[in-house]
Amino acid sequence: MGFVNVVDREGEHRAFEAVEGWRLMEILRDYRVGIEGVCGGACDCASCHVVIDEAWASKLFPPRDDELDKLDELPLIEPTSRLSCQIIWSDALDGLTLTLPPEI
């Protein structure tokens, strides 16, 4: 369990309970915060793009090459951009904060 803090596209801060073992994309998608997860987590659509708070970015496993390649296809990314389908939730992530990027 634990909570993920989301800054949505209107700048509103909200906290959502997260489930251990779920992909972060699945958690965000199910709370309908604006993450689609079109490819179901296959690292093939980038519709799960989020920007991780700097304080948390280094605590995550680094992105694999296929995630970096997919992020490179987006018109706007930040240094801490990630595909949320590639992040598996664990208790250690309790309090993680992310921002939803503008819709493209």
The residues of the shown chain that bind ligand FES, judged by CB under 6 A, are: 25, 37-39, 41-48, 70, 83, 85
What SS3 class is residue 99? strand
**CA nearest to 74, candidates 96, 37, 48:** 48
For the bound state, the minimum distance from the C-beta of residue 83 to ligand FES, rounded and expressed in Å, comes to 4
Nearer of residues 12 and 65 to ligand FES, judged by Cβ: 65
For the bound state, the minimum distance from the C-beta of residue 86 to ligand FES, rounded and expressed in Å, comes to 7
Nearest-CB residue for ligand FES: 85
> Within 13 A of 50's CA, how many CA atoms are on the CB side?
32
Nearer of residues 12 and 73 to ligand FES, judged by Cβ: 73
The DSSP secondary structure of 4-58, one letter per residue, reads EEEE-TTS-EEEEE--TTSBHHHHHHHTTSS---TTSSSSSS-TTEEEE-HHHHT
Nearer of residues 40 and 95 to ligand FES, judged by Cβ: 40
For the bound state, the minimum distance from the C-beta of residue 84 to ligand FES, rounded and expressed in Å, comes to 7
